[in-house]
Amino acid sequence: MSRIDNDRGQATVLTVIFLVALLGAVALVLDVGSWFREQRATQSTADASALAAAQALPDSTGEAALLADEYLAKNGGGTADVVFSSGPVANDSVTVEVEREAPGVFSKLFGIESVTVHARATARAGGLDAARWVAPIVVNLKHPKLQCGGPPNKPNPCFGDATEIELEHLHKPGSGDAAGAFGLINLDQNDSGSVGGSTLGDWILTGFDGYLEPGQYTSVPSAKFNDSHIKNALSARILGDNELLFPIYKTITGSGSNAIYDIVGWVGFTVTKYQASGSTGKVWGSFTKVLWEGIQSNSGNNLNFGTRTVELVE
């Protein structure tokens, strides 16, 4: 055999080895990419499971754990470790750690059947320092259906009970403190003018597009409740999404169009019927617990009327 023939044989062997190594590297790259995608999917599942669990907090850690497990089972499975912790309020936070096996395909050629991916997420439920999509109908703090017992500074509305609130006409200072009264307010604190029925109707139909904090808000004449825009908006909400967010007022200063409402919190209300005729105005429905868009409170001192927001904190 000549030297040239011998060299050619070596080149063939080296080429085969190189091709095998190259194919192996490509295969591992494909599997590693698949594992990274599974890691991102697992993190998304952990995030969503934590947010789902937080919806039941701080009232029920048992229900929260079930929600986390249910969400995990419907979104790829795996094993989850659910742990509760306390922030401003006891048991207001939940951490979900998810573990999954991500199988390999080409990596099996190298004896790697699968890798384990991990993800961790923490969500917290809290009251609102500011709320978005608020309706301009306010309800008195003294309404009996907002006072179903509970510790001081933590009101406990009678959720689900049939409730009636009546329009309060502000004829004299302080008259708005009558228990059960409701009124209309201008939600736009940058607007010192009179707000029209069309705008009020839009706020009832879709909510105010801004984050509103507790504080002082000006009155809108109660006669506006008879405006056709408001009636149409209420009718549309009753037929569709009938869950509104009402501001709660503690006191009123002044009277008439100069009255100022002191807003102290927010409460969900499911409206089922209304009456607007002449000087008469009533809204029927029930107070309800709601998860709402807003800025979460970082303290446990805010008044809580069953309105909460959940968000990822880790």
Burial pattern 222-235, b for ≥16 Cβ within 10 A else e, equals: bebbbbebbbebbe
Does a cis peptide bond (omega within 30 degrees of 0) precede residue 157?
no
Beta bridge partner(s), residue 166: 181, 282
Tokens 């509305």, residue?
A: 157
Residue 45 has pLDDT above 60, yes or no: yes
Do the Cβ atoms of 252 and 176 come closer than 8 Å?
yes
List the alpha helices (DSSP H) in 207-255: 228-239
Q: What share of the chain in percent tops pLDDT 90?
A: 50
Beta bridge partner(s), residue 297: none
Q: In what order do the strands lie in the sheet with 93-103?
A: 79-85, 93-103, 114-126, 307-312, 290-291
Instruction: Select the more confidently predicted residue: 3 or 50.
Output: 50
253-307 pLDDT, tens digit per residue, is: 887 777 899 999 999 999 999 999 877 899 999 999 999 999 998 876 556 788 9
CA proximity to 95, closest of 149, 152, 51: 51
pLDDT value for 172: 43
Residue 145 has pLDDT above 50, yes or no: yes
Do the Cβ atoms of 225 and 167 come closer than 8 Å?
yes
Residue 147 has pLDDT above 50, yes or no: yes
DSSP 270: E
pLDDT value for 215: 94
Residue 116 has pLDDT above 60, yes or no: yes
CA proximity to 88, closest of 129, 46, 121, 52: 129
Q: Where are the domains of the chain?
A: 3-126, 129-312
Measured CA distances, 32 to 54, 105, 111, 139 (Å) = 33, 10, 14, 58
Q: What share of the chain in percent tops pLDDT 70?
A: 78
In sequence order, the 6+-apart residues with CB closer than 8 A to the CB of 53 are: 64, 65, 67, 68, 71, 82, 94, 96, 123
